[in-house]
Amino acid sequence: MADRVRTHPGTRKPTLHLGHGKRHCVKVLERLSAYLDDELSGDVCREIRAHLGDCPNCEVFLDSLRQTDQLCRNRPSPALSKNDRASLRRQILKAAATT
Amino acid sequence: MALRKKSRPDLHDGHAVSRSTSTSFDQLYRDHVDVMYRFAYRLCGETEAAKDLVQETFLSAYRAYDRFRGDAQISTWLYAIASHACQRMRRKRKGEPERELSLTEFVPTSGGEFSLQVPMEGLSPQEALENKELRQILDRAIAKLPRKYRMVLVLRDMEGLSAKEVGGILGLNERAIKSRLHRARLFVRRELSGKGLAGEFHSDVTTGHR
């Protein structure tokens, strides 16, 4: 989806203009990962925060995206057992020697 | 660890091919196998496929060692080999067809879709993930992601690489990586919301039984 961003004459950084209503919610949704990852300019962040303060649904949506991200980051992954580590090593050495 | 030798690593156990470098295959394997297995498991979602991918990765690494330029971290180089090996293996298996994710499909249309429908209230992410059913739901959501989005989510959010590093590994610019990452997160979020879990999740999940 194309970014819908307007640039004001005399300003270098593009600024989102977010009011309320579904159209504005979609604009916010487009940028929530960048917002969570702190990749947006101060002006854009302020506009998004203003929209979030005015729109409980978007606030809840942002929380759910943040929680999703935290679950992914903290999902433990099983470790390779010592036996599997040794067995895999043998298989790799054998395959390397025969090809 | 950045390896700067251009010759192949030794293969021990009687399979030596070249001993011109002090860096051995054993060292490469020992230093990186656990990280590569974790990565492979996150990509594949199950043990045997993850082991196959690890084997393919280190075999390819051995064969391509002459071409390793030494200007990247060796872990990044291995991630790239594993990512390409994963794509090759999936093509062989004729895996799921790739589909593009559109942002518009993630716009909630009803109340239950805005929040997650999994038990996290008052819990840290680590505590919430002690719930086996929540882990299964999360794993299933990640596994359902089209591969190219899953690859970016795993590398960026789970392995903790930067967007620039992920771009280098997958041969894409940072903008494309960020776009895929955002769609991947929205996809997993939706799977954990009322929409994704409609009529599916177990009552134990909402009551927090483990």
| B177 and B129 co-located in one domain | yes
pLDDT confidence tier of residue B63, bands split at 50, 70 and 90? confident
Residues (pLDDT < 50) of chain A are 1-15
* Of A30, A65, A70, Cβ closest to residue B103: A30
What is the distance in angstroms between the Cα of A51 and the nearest Cα belonging to chain B?
A: 16
Is B83 in the same domain as B163? no
ipTM of this complex > 0.85?
Answer: no
Distance from CA of A34 to the nearest CA of B (A): 8
Chain B nearest-CA distance from A52, in A, is 13
Please check whether residue B20 lies inside any domain of the structure. no
In this prediction the pTM is 0.82
Does any domain span residue B183? Answer: yes
Q: Say if residue B7's pLDDT is above 60.
A: no
What is the tens place of the pLDDT at every residue in B13-47?
433 344 444 357 788 899 999 999 999 999 998 99
The stretches of A1-99 forming alpha helices (DSSP H) are 22-30, 32-36, 42-54, 56-74, 82-98
Q: B134 contacts in A (CB within 8 Å)?
A: 71
Task: Give the domain CATH number at B86.
Answer: 1.10.1740.10
Look at residue B4 and tell me if it is in a domain.
no
> Which among B193, B150, B101, B180 is positioned nearest to A61, based on CA atoms?
B193
Q: Is residue A49 part of a domain?
A: yes
Test mutation, B59, B124, B166, B192, chain A, max A CBs within 10 A:
B59
Provide the number of structural domains found in chain B.
2
Its domain, for residue B34, covers 25-92
Which of B92, B118, B147 corresponds to the end of one domain? B92
Average pLDDT along chain B: 82
For residue B122, the domain's CATH number is 1.10.10.10
In a domain, residue B98? The reply is no
DSSP type of residue A6: B
Structural domain total, chain A = 1
Q: How far is A28 from chain B (nearest CA, A)?
A: 11
A78: containing domain:
22-98
B18 lies in a domain? no
Categorize the per-residue pLDDT at B96 as very low, low, confident or very high, splitting at 50, 70 and 90. low
**How many CB pairs (< 8 A) connect A and B?**
129
Read off the pLDDT of residues B135-150 as tens digits, 9 standing for 90 and up.
999 999 999 999 999 9
* Any domain includes A8: no
B129–A60: do the CB atoms touch at under 8 Å?
no
Q: Which residues of A6-25 are buried (b: 16+ CB within 10 A; e: fewer)?
A: eeeeeeeeeebebeeeeebb
Same domain, B130 and B195: yes
Question: Which of A4, A32, A64 has the most B C-beta neighbours within 10 Å, making it the best mutation to test the interface with B?
Answer: A64
Residue B3 domain-assigned?
A: no
Q: Does residue B160 fall inside a structural domain?
A: yes
